[in-house]
Structure 1
Amino acid sequence: MTIDKNKNWSYPHTTICILFVFIFPFIIYLHEKELVDFLNSYLVKAWFIIIAGFFFVILTVGHGVTGSWKGAFVDNRNIMSLSRFQILGWTILILSAFSTVAIWNMFVTNHDCLKDIENGCLPGMPKELWLLMGISTASMVGSPLILDSKKSKIPDQQEKSQMLELLTSQQGYKRNELDIQGHLVVNQSPSQARFADLFTGEEIGNFAHLDLARLQMFFFTAVSIIIYGVQLGEFLSLELAKPTSEFIKELPTLNSSLLALIGISHTGYLAAKGVSNSQSGSSTDAESPPATGGGAVEEHPAVG
């Protein structure tokens, strides 16, 4: 389905993005004294406000592009993407902490970081965080590449009919909402994406069933983000409790054991994607229309 971006995107979307990127920093600069007083009293709360700002802008951009507030988390199959959920979660957490510390270094500490050519105002990033973002990016890029090979496969018509019957009778789907691309199941529009997509398979053979590899990765991601978020909050609280406001050189390190668990989870997630969970049909089956009873689901040929 082609999305009319010009129709979805409007002046409010542009205004919100401009305010966040350009106007708010300028206002902060003009009200430096009030900002310093607030940071000296509520550094962690300031971090929460920045988290909310990043999250709201991501939702706004997703809505402007796709017409749905879930748009930033929806992939090119109009399905809620676990890899997108994961990388956006880490991006918001790390970038908000990075921004909070940079503002602290710039306005609160006695260190004139604007004239410090070597260090500047920006905090350093531990190598574990770089590895984490690399793993997340590789997973997001690798997922569609693995799935692309399944678009050219011919589905088994009986298995497809059984899957459609199960989805419509037990999970509340409408047949005209679903589309088939090879072995993959897709939605007609981003608004049809469901939170349950994070936990189910992607093919005809497992779209209606729980995918344990995806469930494992979701829990590892959620728990890891919570653990490191608490670590960041404690780190900022300790900085605020010091007698003098010190220059923060680096964000706290992510536990190496936690990083290893995340890496193993992503490996299992991508490996599970590479396994075929659907039966293949014959070219004769592909030419004949599926007997779905309540309305046919249009099957599109593979693209690319």
Structure 2
Amino acid sequence: MGSFAVLWPVSALVILALGVLAGCSATGKVAGILIDSRGRCSLTHVQVVAWTVLILSAFAATLVASNFDLSKAKLSTDLLGLMGIAAGSAVLSTGVKAVKDAPGSAAKVARDGTAVPAVGTAAATTIRVKFAQIWLEEEGDFADRVVSITKFQNFIFTLVALATFVSLAMSVGGLPTAMPENFLALLGISHAGYVGGKIPDKK
């Protein structure tokens, strides 16, 4: 019923379009699905959306390309592990943010619209949503002014993981059955660093 190489991007676009509609209905912005409760562009949202789109679209494309042969569209343990790491990281990072957003918290959270004072040579500014926030600090006087190294490393690992998944899927013409050895462990360590970096309050 068609080749995987053609059906996969079509399936991905359909799922992505649904995400855009959901984001628009919530925030009025095309990229609204990437914006968190603080009004910031969130790395966690980017990761969950990316893995959901890629894995579900690959599953759908494999199913259609094989004339709905379920034996050809099996979700391997490694793929479940990928989604588990992304989802688990999302739950933990959201939990950390919820604690910091609670009344009485000492955290200096830089929500959309927050005024950030001048620091050194950096002029006073007001926080506004932008894509670069996925690797910038989100708390303290240096929010949106410096790169969060734990977020940046996790962003890079995510790009590598996504590229690896796409490469494997295209090479086998369907859902990959396995990721490279120790790949999930390495990705898990990266996510642990990302979540851990959110815990200390930034001044």
TM-score bracket relative to the smaller structure: 0.7 to 0.9
Are 2:24 and 2:30, in contact at CA under 8 Å, matched by a contact in 1?
yes
Matching residue's letter, 1:99: A
Aligned with 1:127 (options 77, 90, 97): 77
Could you say which residue in structure 1 is the equivalent of 2:87? 137
Q: What is residue 76 of structure 1 aligned with on the other side? A: 37
User: Post-superposition shift, 1:225?
Assistant: 0.2
Of 9, 13, 21, the match for 1:60: 21
2:131 counterpart of 1:195: yes
1:123–1:63 distance in 2 versus 1, CA, 3 Å: same
TM-score by structure 2 length?
0.85
Quick check: 1:163–1:205 contact (8 Å CA) kept in 2? yes
Give yes or no for contact 2:137–2:147 (8 Å, CA) kept in 1: yes
Name the CA distance, whole Å, in 2 between partners of 1:102 and 1:212.
40
Is the CA contact 1:98–1:122 (under 8 Å) kept in the aligned structure 2?
A: no
| Aligned mates of 2:86, 2:107 — CA distance in 1 | 31
- Check whether the contact 1:51–1:93 (CA below 8 A) recurs between aligned residues: yes
CA–CA distance in 2 between the matches of 1:261 and 1:163? 36
2:166 maps to which of 205, 226, 229: 229
Spell out, residue by residue over 1:103-122, the C-alpha distance to the aligned partner (whole angstroms, 9 max, x if none). Answer: 12226xxxxx4xxxxxx467
Please give the alpha-carbon distance, in whole angstroms, between the structure 1 residues aligned to 2:123 and 2:131.
16
Runs of 4+ deviating beyond 4 Å:
none
Deviation at 1:69, TM superposition (A): 0.9
Partners of 1:154 and 1:224 in 2: how far apart? 35
The residue number in structure 1 matching 2:147 is 210
Instruction: Figure out how many residues of one structure are paired with residues of the other and give that number.
Output: 194
> Identity of paired residues, percent?
24
Deviation at 1:257, TM superposition (A): 2.2
RMSD: 2.6
Residue 276, structure 1, aligned to residue 201, structure 2 = yes
TM-score by length of 1: 0.58
Q: What 5-or-longer segments of structure 1 have no aligned partner?
A: 1-35, 108-112, 114-119, 179-191, 240-249, 279-304
Show the 5 A alignment for 1:108-187. 113=69, 120=70, 123-151=73-101, 152-154=104-106, 163-165=116-118, 173=125, 175=126, 178=127
Answering whether residue 176 of structure 2 is matched by residue 255 of structure 1, we say: no
